[in-house]
């Protein structure tokens, strides 16, 4: 399947992630992740994006398995809570790309970040969806140390007048610089925070 066919296929899935298909693919293309974990699969839109390049193992965790969910052949769906799964995670399997899109409360996003942090590889990237839409996610995200980028997107989050936003965090300055260059080159709307 080429990228256009892929986009048509996943466009049928209900998701607030649609602004970030190209950005997600760009992150995967740069990082070439061997292990990707997603918290919050819902119908599977972002899981499909993060799996599309087939760079390695991809795990999607959700407390609910929706009817009509689309799980790519090369991804593994885990039914369970992100916090329980963090406890059970094989500590030998370091995560290159983590996508946090589950519980959007401050405590939820903070716990997801903190519980999964020990499992991250050195050059890992963490994506935070809804970083603009949800004040709790934003307030946690802007307090993180190291390098943060925010992709704005265009679709509106309900009637808030805000977009959904995708936060991109890494502790590695080289990775941050390279991603910023890629996002700019592709004209993704960007805020440095």
Ligand X SMILES: C[S@@+](CC[C@H](N)C(=O)[O-])C[C@H]1O[C@@H](n2cnc3c(N)ncnc32)[C@H](O)[C@@H]1O
Binding site residues, ligand X, CB under 6 A: 15, 17, 39-43, 45-46, 61-64, 81-82, 101-103
Least distance (Å) between residue 66 CB and ligand X: 7
**In whole angstroms, what is the distance from residue 49 CA to residue 73 CA?**
13
With respect to ligand X, which residue has the nearer C-beta, 147 or 164?
A: 164
Least distance (Å) between residue 62 CB and ligand X: 4
With respect to ligand X, which residue has the nearer C-beta, 81 or 172?
A: 81
Nearest Cα residue to 124 out of 78, 83, 176: 176
Paired sense of beta strands 95-100 and 35-39, if any: parallel
Least distance (Å) between residue 48 CB and ligand X: 8
With respect to ligand X, which residue has the nearer C-beta, 19 or 62?
A: 62
Classified as helix, coil or strand, 171 is coil
**In whole angstroms, what is the distance from residue 163 CA to residue 62 CA?**
24
Least distance (Å) between residue 122 CB and ligand X: 25
Nearest Cα residue to 121 out of 151, 91, 101: 91
Least distance (Å) between residue 78 CB and ligand X: 9
Under 8 Å between Cβ of 193 and 146: no
With respect to ligand X, which residue has the nearer C-beta, 22 or 180?
A: 22
With respect to ligand X, which residue has the nearer C-beta, 62 or 96?
A: 62
**In whole angstroms, what is the distance from residue 19 CA to residue 189 CA?**
10
């Amino acid at each position: 399947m080429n990228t256009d066919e892929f986009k048509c296929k996943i466009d049928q899935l209900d998701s607030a992630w649609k602004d970030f298909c190209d950005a997600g693919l760009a992150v995967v293309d740069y990082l070439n992740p061997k292990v990707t974990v997603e918290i919050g699969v819902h119908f599977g839109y972002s899981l499909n994006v993060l799996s599309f390049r087939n760079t390695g193992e991809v795990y999607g965790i959700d407390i609910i398995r929706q009817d009509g969910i689309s799980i790519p052949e090369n991804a593994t769906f885990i039914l369970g809570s992100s916090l329980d799964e963090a406890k059970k995670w094989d500590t030998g399997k370091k995560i290159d790309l983590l996508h946090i899109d589950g519980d959007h409360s401050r405590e939820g996003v903070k716990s997801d970040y903190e519980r999964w942090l020990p499992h991250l590889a050195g050059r890992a990237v963490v994506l935070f969806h809804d970083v603009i839409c949800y004040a709790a996610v934003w307030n946690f995200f802007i307090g993180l140390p190291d390098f943060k980028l925010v992709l704005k997107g265009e679709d509106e989050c309900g009637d808030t007048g805000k977009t959904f936003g995708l936060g991109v965090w890494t502790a590695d300055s080289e990775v941050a610089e390279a991603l910023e260059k890629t996002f700019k080159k592709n004209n993704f709307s960007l805020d440095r925070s």
